[in-house]
Amino acid sequence: MTPLLDLFKSASDRHFPKGQIILYEGDPVNRLYQIDEGFVKVYNILADGTERIIFIYGPGDIFPLTSYLSGFGVARYFYECMKEAKVKVMNLAIFENKIKGKPELAQEMIKYSYLTNQQFVQRIDILSVNDTRRKIISLLAFLLAKAGDKSGKLNLTLTSKDFADLAGVTRETVSVQLNKLRRDGLISGNHQIIVDVNYLNKLKIKYSIPKFA
């Protein structure tokens, strides 16, 4: 356990069901959340009503730490449970008191926030490209980093809508691309997807896909 996560050992435990929105866009940031179990998607809603998933937080992640550090004061996105989640919740005033006068914790917090921001930027960059195949392969790399194990199994059940919202394309396009990747041998399974890690690594080099730390 990192020193930053150690701060949450005494925090309150909360359980949220699948589909529960923990934070709405525009909510004041007066608490921090650390995930013990489960996954939380971060998304915004476009002008046409389409949901666009920007990021996924998993076990060990803290949110909305980046919003807090930016001084924005309010949540910039929606935060919703993708499956039942066990989360530790800490009042912001208590958190600030715990890190006060402890530069090593401040450094840990900045390092964690930097890595998370890198992943955010990588995700947004990928959403902006026109190559759909590259988008889906990059998405699989991101999902494997956030919710996968060494065997390539994704520990998160995703619907076609989830894939479409994550990739920023239509469900039909996602279906076509996933079927092609199944035929190519990159993935197997439907709701519980297994990725061929070695093949994925070769494709990441081919398509210049960044490593999601």
| pLDDT range class, residue 151, cuts 50, 70, 90 | very high
The answer to the question of residue 24 being in a domain is yes
Which residues are paired to 44 by β-bridges? 52
> Are both 47 and 114 inside the same structural domain?
yes
Q: How many CB atoms lie within 10 A of CB 99?
A: 16
Domain total for the chain? 2
The answer to the question of residue 211 being in a domain is no
> Are both 144 and 113 inside the same structural domain?
no
> Are both 42 and 107 inside the same structural domain?
yes
Using the structure block, give the residue that is written with the tokens 């150690």.
6
3-state class percentages of the chain: helix first, strand second, coil last, to nearest 5: 45, 25, 35
User: Rounded to whole angstroms, what are the CA distances from 50 to 69, 166, 197, 199?
Assistant: 28, 11, 31, 32
> Are both 184 and 136 inside the same structural domain?
yes
One-letter amino acid at 77 equals Y
**The pair of three-digit structure tokens given for residue 57, joined into one six-digit string:** 């937080």
- The C-alpha atoms of residue 209 and residue 212 are separated, in whole angstroms, by 9
The answer to the question of residue 212 being in a domain is no
> Are both 112 and 189 inside the same structural domain?
no
Q: What is the CATH number of the domain that holds 135?
A: 1.10.10.10
> Are both 147 and 163 inside the same structural domain?
yes
pLDDT at 30: 95
> Are both 149 and 72 inside the same structural domain?
no
Question: pLDDT for 17-28, tens place per residue?
Answer: 999 999 999 999
pLDDT surpasses 70 at 213: no
Question: pLDDT for 132-148, tens place per residue?
Answer: 999 999 999 999 999 99
Please state the rounded mean pLDDT for residues 122-141.
Answer: 90
Task: Domain of residue 158: give its range.
Answer: 131-206
